[in-house]
Amino acid sequence: MNENETVPEVPAVTREDALRMAIIRVNDQRFPLLEMESSDCSLPLTSEDEDALMLMNDVLDELDDEAAGLAAVQVGYPKRMFVLRKNGENAAYINPIVIRSSTRMKNDFEACLSIPGGVARTKRPKSVTLQYVDIDGSVQTETFTGFWARAVMHEMDHLNGKLILKHLEQQLSKHVPRTDFGMKLTPQKSKQIAQRRAKNRQAKAARRLNR
């Protein structure tokens, strides 16, 4: 570098960009956190828990109608809490437990903030009843239906280390052909079987010639 060279300006990261970047995505080195089960929050909440909730609220405020919910693990804090954003307001659900869910299911498309552009068709109960601790430390029970039942189960999956990619893998595995003995016929396995059959045919042909 000489004295006449100019150093290119690095664009400043805005607060809005920083909040969006707080979400762990597939190309993030923190991504393995999303495949781990989150641990319970101690009560009363610690200052670290409160800081994480504040960050989650700020992220959802920034995203506004782009997001319906966010789990703590998605911002790198693997504790059992998530925030839903309904009608422009955020509500925290701490140490949530599903105590009842409908046997009636609905299969629909679902996206995830941590997998931009990724969509999977998932089967979810039409209604879910949740027991949780609210931000004031009180135990609450709430029933969700329709879209919000789906949103709650999506966030519960995050707390259990399950991404919508797992649902997609499960769907694909159901369509993988199998042998009569139940073995999955992956492309590699199909190729191996075809090669083995070809060798057997060649061996039979050779035996006939030698008779």
Handedness of CA 71, 72, 73, 79 (dihedral sign): negative
**Fold of the domain spanning 15-175:** Peptide Deformylase (3.90.45)
CA separation, residue 200 to residues 41, 116, 190, 204, 205 (Å): 61, 48, 15, 6, 9
The residues pairing with 109 across neighbouring beta strands, listed in sequence order, are 121
| Least confident among 26-30, 50-54, 73-77, 91-95 | 26-30
pTM of the model: 0.75
Closest CA to 154 of 34, 18, 55, 27: 34
- Residue pLDDT, tens place only, 102-116: 999 999 999 999 988
94 in Cβ contact with 132 (< 8 Å): yes
Alpha helices (runs of H) in the chain, residue ranges in sequence order: 15-21, 47-63, 146-159, 164-174, 187-210
Q: What whole-number distance in Å separates Cα of residue 155 and Cα of residue 95?
A: 12
140 or 185, which is more confident: 140
Q: Spell out the domain ranges in the chain.
A: 15-175, 177-211
- Residue pLDDT, tens place only, 13-55: 788 888 989 999 988 899 999 999 999 999 999 999 999 999 9
Question: Which candidate in 35, 66, 142, 155 is catalytic?
Answer: 155
174 or 26, which is more confident: 26
* 2-11, 73-82, 162-171, 173-182 — most confident range: 73-82
To the query of whether residue 62 is one of the catalytic residues in this protein, the response is no
- Residue pLDDT, tens place only, 184-197: 555 665 566 566 66
Side-by-side strand order, sheet with 69-71: 69-71, 81-86, 89-101, 127-133, 139-145
